[in-house]
Structure 1
């Protein structure tokens, strides 16, 4: 395995000439279709090409504008049909491996490596808030690069991690859908299994009137804020780490909740904040202002920022208050949308208005056996993804620099 000092312009192109006729209907990938530090393009739209960056499968898209570049918006193009050309934001650098000189997967990981990211960020010029990276700084940069065969092996090894992460994400998505389908079956349609294992309501189960309409006899109603505690976070800018503190915590804000993990750009807070605003794996987090989200956090220990609730309960299992809070999310989003002149948010009064239907103890125990394993599996997969991301990011600079060699056989299970 040989590494030679190489100027990047000898192995890659930036914004190469790509032919796409105006008026062509094709895929458009906007900046919002990329997630920070995520290889896979999350979405696209079909529309008419008028202008923009043009790319094909095997290209790497790098956001060149602040703060998208700093936030890690770098993606690998592999969602197009054969020979299809797509287009996107003019704020993308389109990076293409030179044929016979570089491997496209290797180039993607090279562009997201700390060394190349740093020189790209440092090249930014322009007015505050509208700074853009300069391609000349990237093309002129020199670093040691391995031979083409080694590049392919490095790209393949690192891709194993990203593929496994995507498989886990799909499993999480399926389990989330399953949990919500079962929740509706049990707590909205009241078709939970009766003593004979038959659907309760459609099998003639006794129903009684309530403020929510008919509910099963023996069940009761209470508000969300009575079945769970909604602990608001702190204005963490007031709780910065002290110089004497050897350790600190990343701050969990809406950005981190949305992407599922903290990163190098996340703010830090003191490790001495009270336990009620420390977030651990498996905690239910509800963003109640701006972008309303309800998620199971698996991104490791963090400090809870304001505008986020940590949801807990001494009386009910996690699945119960998680799925009830998620059930009302569309209602809360509608309430927040009514705040037309301010950042949309909900109030505690909305938690009081949102009513949950609570089963009898024996039925709740049966429900626990149904729902708890699903939620625990979602959490386990999320934690596994966090570990895979950390291992990938540890290996990436070491493999690219030749500090460690690639094992003859490596499998990510």
Structure 2
């Protein structure tokens, strides 16, 4: 692209003379979502998808294709309906995350809806919001988690290039994101293969050489000879999270990465949004992370050493892949704890450690680890690539 040679002074500093300094309120309509009340009375097994912040943070994708919860269809009259192609922005819990909606759904007041774009390419707006997120979030309020008022985004001023430049920027970045989406789908396939292998070997008992192994009785039914029955604490070290002081939280990278609960969880790896300078409990790199407070049973993997809050437990093992797929095989068992607790489901350390499970022979575990760990290494590369692309200061150089 041709470099700009003439600049002008604005309230934001020096910018190319064909760019403009303009507030978001002049570029699109911004409305806030809404909820039928009380919301828990509206949840249903089917109906209209209900987009929560966790539906955005559990995936690095640009798109929201599905939700974990639905509300009754008539609830749409008391909420805000979004349609495929709409651009939304989180304004609470984990504020400043833009997402394109690929489904018809409803959004609560933790979301802003952007429509009727004027002088602003919608795809460019998505990347612009990612780039501007730190500048927008700093004006939010809240003692622990930052919340954004609608006026903060409306009044936020940005440097806007001409539409042809916006189109080119969006085209380049979309192309990169398309490659990431393709890799993500490939990773889903790899992950399915790994989980299917675990099920074949450790649930169906059809591991390499199984034909030569005698089946014997156990308290959990017939199992291969040499295997046993034990509890999770017999196989893994389980660390329950403990939240640091709220005053130690920050979003600027001071201290160590901090994950509070399932809101931070993604498809496989959690989203980094908070740090703490006073960590209490630590999960090591590639430890399995489990949500232990509503909802119980979500599973992620720590991409790096991190602090875990009271909504998370870490499962540590030298056999990382085996630990991951073993815990994923127990998800339905873990979900049962959602019925416990006075208000919200939860599971304590004793209950988690004492889950009874079949304990395979070490030789089979080691063979599985050697085989599947190579798949897991391939899967790990995608979020790293994504973070590198996000870090490129694209907007300011076109």
TM value normalised by structure 1: 0.71
Q: State the match for 1:253 in structure 2.
A: 260
1:226 aligns with 2:234: yes
How far, CA to CA, are the matches of 2:137 and 2:300 in structure 1?
33
Q: State the match for 1:288 in structure 2.
A: 292
Q: What pairs up with 1:113-192 in 2 under 5 angstroms?
A: 113-114=131-132, 118-119=135-136, 122=139, 133-135=149-151, 138-192=153-207
Shift of 1:226: 1.1
Contact in 2 for aligned 1:231/1:311 (Cα 8 Å): yes
Contact in 2 for aligned 1:279/1:303 (Cα 8 Å): yes
Runs of 4+ in structure 1 off by over 6 angstroms are 128-132
How many equivalent residue pairs?
356
Q: State the match for 1:59 in structure 2.
A: 86
Contact in 2 for aligned 1:34/1:75 (Cα 8 Å): no
* CA shift in 2, pair 1:57/1:229, >3 Å: closer
1:94 aligns with 2:93: no
Unaligned runs of 5+ in 2: 5-17, 33-46
Contact in 2 for aligned 1:103/1:152 (Cα 8 Å): yes
* CA shift in 2, pair 1:134/1:239, >3 Å: closer
Q: State the match for 1:30 in structure 2.
A: 51
Can you list the C-alpha shifts for 1:305-335, whole angstroms capped at 9, x where unaligned? 3453332235xx2222332233223212213
Alignment root-mean-square deviation, CA: 3.9
Shift of 1:145: 0.9
Contact in 2 for aligned 1:279/1:302 (Cα 8 Å): yes
How far, CA to CA, are the matches of 2:276 and 2:359 in structure 1?
39
Shift of 1:122: 3.5
* CA shift in 2, pair 1:96/1:229, >3 Å: same
How far, CA to CA, are the matches of 2:362 and 2:137 in structure 1?
60
Q: What pairs up with 1:367-382 in 2 under 5 angstroms?
A: 367-378=368-379, 380-381=380-381
Q: State the match for 1:23 in structure 2.
A: none
Contact in 2 for aligned 1:29/1:89 (Cα 8 Å): yes
Find the partner of 1:351 among 350, 353, 363.
353
Q: State the match for 2:283 in structure 1.
A: 279
Unaligned runs of 5+ in 1: 17-25, 81-85, 195-199, 406-413
Shift of 1:370: 2.8
Find the partner of 1:72 among 88, 96, 101.
96
How far, CA to CA, are the matches of 1:123 and 1:376 in structure 2?
38
Q: State the match for 1:40 in structure 2.
A: 63
Q: State the match for 2:27 in structure 1.
A: 11
Contact in 1 for aligned 2:61/2:181 (Cα 8 Å): no
* CA shift in 2, pair 1:156/1:219, >3 Å: same
